[in-house]
Each structure stands twice: as C-alpha cells, then as structure tokens.
Chain A
Amino acid sequence: MLQALQQPWPWYVAGALIGLIVPALLILGNKHFGISANLRHACAACFPAGIKFFQYDWKKEIWNFFFVGGILAGAILTTHLIPDPHPVQINAALARELAGYGITDRSSLLPRELFSWSSLFTLRGLIMLVGGGFLVGFGTRYAGGCTSGHAIMGLSDLQWPSLVATVMFMAGGFIMANLLLPFILHL
C-alpha cells in the first residue's frame, strides 16, 4: 500500500481527483475553481497603488489564500511522508536533449541545475525563473485565468472563451518548449 502511494500516480487517478475538486469547491461554498486570482489578491492586499484593477475587497476572497495554503501544505506532507525514492522517469529523447544542456539531475521533480539559488544568478536561470514567472503572472491575468480556471473549471462549464484560452496556453507552451527554450538552455 505504502509502495503504491510512493510511486508516481497514474494519470487517470490524478485526473479524476483534480476533476472532483470542481464540484467539491462548488458544493462546499459556491466557489469556482481557480488559482491565479490569488496573485491578483496579493497585489490588492499589498500594493494596490491606486490602480482600479486592484481596488476591491480582497478579504472576501480569502478562501483562495486558504486553498493555496493547503496546496503548499499538501506538497510538504507528501514530500516528507510518501516520497518517491526513485529518480524521475522521463522519455529517453528528452533525457538526451537535456543532457546536451548539462541537465542530468533527476533526483527531484525540478532539475537542480535550473531550480537553485546559484542558477538564479546566471543569465539562463534569471530568464527562466524571473522571466518565466513574470510571463505566468502577466499572461494568466490578461487571459482571465490559468489552467485551473480556464482549462479545468471553464471547460467543465463548457465555456468557449475558456477553450480559446486553453488552446492558446498550449500554443504558447509548444512555441517556448520547441522554438525558444533550446536557445535559452544553451546560455
């Protein structure tokens, strides 16, 4: 049992559980699944700076902070209680490609060569961590939601603007991973 929990969970288990978060939040309190709004609430709470977009009663949305607090706690618990002792298994072609950029450490879910404090002070790390984060924050708000709000919640409610957003999420990802990222990883 413990061994089954430690291994990477199959997609159908993970997908079903993530899908069930949609009705769980609705039934617990009429909340629409979405996470990127937290970034907006953080702006509204800390640096509204007289910007109309951040002038609203963020305290009404405090459930959203509790929700991501739970995600953080869940990840900490999982990492300590049921860690996967094996290196992350990836496609052989990807492993070869990444080795060409000097990325070989698969002992955790994020490659240490890219996600570390020392990497942050390299040009490659700065572009990926600071630049990538900025694009995530700017893009999700511009699109009106992220993968949870549009791809899961929006599609669950058959909203076609969410389908447009989801298709564009994927398009952006394909462009970055295949066309731009090779140059950045070479830095």
Chain B
Amino acid sequence: MKTTTEPINAQPGNTDFEVRSLDTICINESRKQHPWWYNFKYMAVGVLFGVVFVKAEVISWFRIQEMFRLQSFHMYGVIGTAVVVGIISVWLIKKFNIKTIHGEKIEFHPKKFNKGQIYGGLIFGLGWALTGACPGPLFAQVGTGALVVIVVLLSAIAGTWTYGYFREKLPH
C-alpha cells in the first residue's frame, strides 16, 4: 500500500481542485492509493441505500407528489430523520476525532455560498417534482425495472454537460 503525502491538486496542470471545491460535494479526500477493488466497500453501502430507497418508497413518483402537495408526512419524516442522524454522526466524528478505517483523519470543507445554490436549486426542484427523482433515486428507479428512466438519466447527464458548457456565462 503506497501512501502519497502531496495534496491532491499538486500535479502540474491540475487546477480542478479549486474549481471543484466550490461546486462539488464529492471531493475525494483520501490521499491513500488503494487497489481498485477496495471500491467494493462503497458498492456495499450503495446496495443498502438501494434497498432502503425502494422499501421506503422514497423513489416513488407518487410519494414525491404527496410531499409537494403536503398530503403526507412520510418524505419529511425520512429526510428529517436522516438529517438528524447525520448531524449527530458528524458531531461525534468531530468531537472524538474519529478516523477512517485506514487511520486517516476525516476532513470537512466549508462550502461557499454562491447564487448557483439559489438558481440551480430552483431548477433542480422543478425537475425533482417532474421526474419524482433526484440523481440517486434515478438509478434505483431503473433497478425496479422502469427501464425508460435510463432516458431520464441520459438527459440528466446532458443537463450536467450543458451546465459545464455555459458555466462561465451563468451568474454564480
């Protein structure tokens, strides 16, 4: 197992770290290099997530419509409980300085406010109520056999690409 100590944006010509720290929540914090099959542990977490998505009907178009019509508490209960459990977990990790299973320090990055969170958030909300899905549920919807959602997924990738293309011209 090889451990590199230089920051992940240290490679010459790689400037994406500062770009990405502003607008993506998926920065890879790990400086350690692992064999590719270590990634199966994330797949295992994903499987659990997929099961919960389907069994709690979080991926149901009907449930999303109920939520936005204030006709059911279910989705508010799911999101609210998840946030409370998440807040307690993150607080415990910080308080007791809990490390990863590989002994690394767990890092958090403050997010910067920009107008994208307003405009983009609104645009995503419109799409959420139309499709009944956010990006995660899209994959679960396909898994339940609704294969036409592959088209929704490809369209979402096209939307992301279009954002990347016009990014410099959009207000942030």
Complex alpha-carbon distance, A62 and B72, angstroms: 37
Query: In the bound complex, do residue B107 and residue A30 qualify as a contact, i.e. CB atoms below 8 Å apart?
Result: yes
Interface presence of A177 (CB below 8 A): yes
CA A72 – CA B57 in complex, angstroms? Answer: 15
Nearest neighbor of B162 in chain A, beta-carbon distance: A138
Residues of A164-187 at the interface with B, using a CB-CB cut-off of 8 Å, are: 164-178, 180-181, 184
Residues in A neighbouring B42, C-beta threshold 8 A: 25, 28-29, 31, 63-64, 66-67, 70
Instruction: State A187–B130 Cα separation when bound (angstroms).
Output: 14
The interface residues of chain B, by DSSP majority, are classed as: helix
B52-A17 in contact (CB<8A): yes
* A165 cross-chain contacts in B, Cβ below 8 A: 117-118, 120-121
Q: Does A129 lie within 8 Å of B46, measured CB to CB?
A: no
Q: How far is the CB of A85 from chain B (nearest CB, A)?
A: 13
CB within 8 Å of A: which B49-100 residues: 49-69, 71-87, 89-90, 92-93, 98, 100
Residues of A within 8 A of B60 (CB): 88, 109-110
**Contacting pair B125 A173 (CB below 8 A):** yes
Does A19 make an interface contact (CB < 8 A)? yes
Contacts of B43 in A (CB 8 A): 66-67, 69-70, 73
- Nearest chain A CB to B49 CB, angstrom units: 5
Q: How many residues of B contact A (CB 8 A)?
A: 133
The yes or no answer to B1 lying at the interface (CB within 8 A) is no
A130-168 CB contacts (< 8 Å) to partner B: 130-162, 164-168
Q: Are A109 and B54 in contact (CB under 8 A)?
A: yes
| Contact assessment for B26 and A11 in the assembled complex, using a CB-CB cutoff below 8 Å | no
Q: B148's contact among A43, A129, A176, by CB below 8 Å, is which? A: A129
Q: Is the CB of B30 within 8 A of A29?
A: yes
Q: Which residues on A sit within 8 Å (CB–CB) of B85?
A: 15-16, 18-20, 22
Partner of B46, one of A71, A141, A152: A71
Please give the residue numbers on chain A whose beta carbons come within 8 Å of chain B beta carbons, in ascending order: 5, 8-40, 42-43, 47, 49, 51-57, 60-64, 66-79, 82, 84, 88, 90-91, 93-94, 98, 106, 108-111, 114-117, 119-120, 127-162, 164-178, 180-181, 184
The 21 listed contacts between A and B (C-beta, < 8 Å) are A14-B52, A15-B82, A17-B48, A29-B38, A30-B100, A36-B160, A62-B39, A71-B46, A74-B52, A75-B143, A90-B62, A90-B72, A98-B65, A109-B141, A129-B152, A134-B155, A138-B120, A139-B123, A140-B160, A141-B164, A168-B117
Question: Which 9 A-B pairs give the minimum distances between C-beta atoms?
Answer: A172-B125, A70-B46, A74-B50, A15-B81, A19-B85, A75-B143, A142-B120, A137-B159, A168-B121
